[in-house]
Amino acid sequence: MVNDSSLCHVVPTFYCVYVLQSIPKPRSFYIGSTPDPNRRLRQHNGELKRGGAYKTKRDGFRPWKVVMLIYNFPSKISALQFEHSLQHPYQTRHIDEINRVTIKKGTTSLQNIMANVRLLLTSNFFNPLDLKILICDDNDDQSLIKIWNINKYKIDIPNYINVDVQPLQEFLLDDKNSIKSNMFETLKQNLLKESSTCSICSCKIDYSPETVPSFKSKKQINEFRQQGNLRLIGACMQSECNSFFHLTCMAMKHTNDNSLIPKYKSCTVCNEDLDWLSVVKIATRLRSYLLRDSLND
């Protein structure tokens, strides 16, 4: 089966920035990013031969544990930007100099790292991304969330930012936020109906077999897309609505917050608020899911 993400750009289902703490040397930390934190942790601990990082391979530092995840990034690039900022909080442009708690290289503590996470969550660039936090406390040890709640540097974050507390493995087994393939099969069938039109501009959705040719390579797909074809299609996921729209049409609709990246857009059919980043994520994956049927390889 063709990998969806190889067909054209897809917003990742999951990508996170993680903070590791050395168990034998608890004052040592490592910050990285990955779509698979469980596999990445095994690499850092030497359980897998390939991967890891020089710092985490040094004698006396293994094993490492994950103490925090920052996730729900709309792209790998935005996650890498957050990772770099958290690694270099003393110079990142995403933290105002007047608000810095880290003023020189090498200043590291868990309180310091959590303070920098808070500062980045309130920055103009990262705040609109609806990022979420996982504090990886074990059920019998709530020390990490205590440090987070003490908030040594008194940096407040908006109430709408979700902060969850549970062991890493429990979090990874919880698929409540995953995007299921059967959902895309239902969306595909509804989208390919002859009556499918954009709920905003009323134009026919152009994903029908008559308008999407058969491709022999992923290169042909990308060339077809770059010619202005295969516009991203968003969907209202309300059970009583299930309307479709061109993402560009919805993006041009006015929002009250006037932000560069809106948090919500209102469905023009049922008037329900749609989480904009979720709409974009589903739209890119729906396009790739549909294109699998057009690729002959």
Last residue of a domain, one of 138, 153, 173: 173
DSSP string, 182-231: HHHHHHHHHHTSTT-BBTTT-PBPS-STTTS--BSSHHHHHHHHHTT-S-
pLDDT at 240: 82
Q: What is the pLDDT of residues 38-72, one digit of tens each?
A: 999 999 999 998 878 889 999 999 999 999 999 99
Q: Are residues 96 and 53 in the same domain?
A: yes
* CA separation for the pair 187, 277 (Å, rounded): 18
* Percentage of the chain modeled with pLDDT above 90: 47
How many Å separate Cα 269 from the centre of its chain? Answer: 27
Summarize the confidence of residues 273-285 as an average pLDDT: 84
Q: Are residues 259 and 219 in the same domain?
A: yes
Q: What is the pLDDT of residues 83-130, one digit of tens each?
A: 999 999 999 999 999 999 999 998 789 999 999 999 999 999 999 888
Last residue of a domain, one of 149, 173, 197: 173
Q: Could you tell me the CATH number of the domain that includes residue 245?
A: 3.30.40.10
Q: Are residues 79 and 137 in the same domain?
A: yes
User: Residue 292: how many CA atoms within 13 Å on its side-chain side?
Assistant: 16
* CA separation for the pair 204, 39 (Å, rounded): 43
- Structural domain including 29 reads 4-173
Q: What are phi and psi of 160, to 5 degrees?
A: -80, -10
Q: Are residues 18 and 160 in the same domain?
A: yes
Nearest to 69 by CA among 169, 158, 156, 136: 136
Q: What is the pLDDT of residues 221-270, one digit of tens each?
A: 667 666 656 678 899 888 788 899 999 899 888 665 556 667 788 999 99
Last residue of a domain, one of 131, 146, 173: 173
Q: Are residues 14 and 139 in the same domain?
A: yes
Tell me how many domains the chain contains.
2
Q: Are residues 145 and 213 in the same domain?
A: no
In this prediction the pTM is 0.74
Contact 232, 244 (CB under 8 A): no
Nearest to 291 by CA among 230, 249, 203: 230
Contact 281, 289 (CB under 8 A): no
What's 34's DSSP letter?
E
